[in-house]
């Protein structure tokens, strides 16, 4: 089975630098696991690798699509799988850096996202009526309350999928994102995770937001706000939607920044919960363990020789 190395962890922990260091040592290339980094028009809010970093190591799934094109989990799995085949064909071990646990699970385990069994079943009338009364945005918010994982993969404009997901949840009493067929591993995957003390992590996240603001995040967010009707995933991405009330004159900038920091911290917490519960991750602390890199290299070496 094809080996696949994946670097995971919360935002602001140092996955990009670790990925580049490993890619150099392993003489391989990187596949971005972050579905937002594929968009050409945004870079700051997506924490995209810098031009210099991309020049050092070839990155797949970065700057390959327009922000006005849809790029969901199925597209990610397809594109990432193609990149894996290309890299493996060169005799190298493919390296995936970053991304949500849900997307990575779909890649590694062939998740069906509930659609194979339920997608063509009828829509529950209650949700059709809800859509007619309240509109697409509030319908999408209902899904967000019931299944925060699934809603991240379904654009608010795709009311058909929102209706299907809510109908599945109503009938099965389970989250749509958990409606999976038996998992069939597609790769011999090794997950390496970075994490640190929660208080330290949250402070790093806050600092990263401040640095993003200085780097021009506000201008990038305004571009997303002004073009949101033409977009799919980007308009719902953390880093942009928190500024929408500010651009609409409904809140001040300080409040918007505070909400972004809070949303980023909550997202990191959700991701860590997913990684710990759903994926076999070997965890390392790059901030307190001076020998963390050598330990990671040893674990990868043993895995590669197994």
Q: If 0-12 CB within 10 Å is exposed, 13-18 middle and 19+ buried, where does residue 26 land?
A: middle
pLDDT score at 209:
97
Segment 276-304, tens digit of pLDDT:
988 999 999 999 999 999 999 999 999 99
Does the structure show a pLDDT above 80 at 54?
A: yes
Segment 57-111, tens digit of pLDDT:
999 999 999 999 988 888 999 999 999 999 999 999 999 999 988 889 889 988 6
Report CA-CA distances (Å) from 125 to 80, 128, 173, 237.
Answer: 37, 5, 16, 30
pLDDT score at 182:
54
Mean pLDDT of the chain: 90
Q: What is the pTM (predicted TM-score) of this model?
A: 0.82
| Band of residue 176 on the pLDDT scale cut at 50, 70, 90 | confident
Structure tokens at 52: 């210099």
Of 125 and 263, the structure prediction assigns the larger pLDDT to: 263
pLDDT score at 180:
56
**Buried residues in 245-257 as b, exposed as e (16+ CB within 10 A):** ebbeeebeeeebb
Three-state DSSP at 59 gives strand
Q: Which domains does the chain have, with CATH numbers?
A: 3-111+183-305 (3.40.50.300), 115-178 (1.10.20.140)
Structure tokens at 218: 């506000």
Window from 90-94, 112-116, 201-205, 239-243 with minimum mean pLDDT: 112-116
Segment 239-280, tens digit of pLDDT:
999 999 999 999 999 999 999 999 999 999 988 988 998 899
**CA–CA separation, 136 vs 72, rounded Å?**
19
pLDDT score at 183:
66
């Amino acid at each position: 089975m094809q080996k696949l190395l994946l670097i995971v962890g919360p935002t602001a922990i140092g996955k990009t630098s670790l990925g580049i260091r490993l890619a150099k040592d392993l003489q391989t290339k990187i596949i971005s696991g972050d579905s937002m980094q594929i968009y050409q028009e945004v870079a700051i809010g997506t924490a995209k690798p810098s031009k210099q970093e991309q020049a050092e190591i070839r990155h797949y799934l970065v700057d390959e699509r327009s922000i006005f094109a849809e790029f969901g989990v199925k597209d990610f799995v397809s594109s990432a799988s193609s990149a894996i085949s290309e890299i493996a064909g060169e005799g190298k071990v493919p390296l995936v850096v970053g991304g949500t646990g849900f997307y990575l699970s779909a890649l590694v385990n062939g998740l069906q996202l509930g659609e194979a069994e339920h997608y063509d079943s009828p829509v529950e009338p209650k949700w059709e009526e809800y859509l007619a009364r309240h509109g697409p945005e509030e319908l999408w918010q209902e899904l967000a309350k019931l299944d925060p994982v699934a809603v991240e993969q379904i654009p608010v404009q795709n009311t058909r999928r929102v209706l299907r997901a809510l109908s599945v949840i109503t009938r099965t009493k389970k989250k749509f994102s958990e409606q999976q067929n038996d998992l069939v591993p597609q790769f011999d995957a090794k997950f390496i995770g970075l994490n640190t003390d929660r208080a330290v992590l949250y402070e790093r996240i806050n600092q990263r937001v401040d640095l993003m603001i200085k780097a021009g995040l506000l201008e990038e967010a305004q571009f997303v706000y002004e073009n949101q009707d033409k977009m799919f995933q980007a308009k719902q991405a953390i880093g942009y939607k928190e500024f929408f009330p500010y651009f609409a004159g409904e809140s001040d900038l300080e409040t918007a920044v505070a909400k972004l920091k809070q949303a980023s911290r909550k997202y990191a917490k959700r991701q860590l919960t997913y990684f710990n519960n759903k994926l076999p991750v070997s965890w390392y602390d790059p901030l307190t363990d001076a020998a963390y890199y050598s330990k990671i290299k040893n674990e990868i070496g043993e895995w590669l020789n197994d």
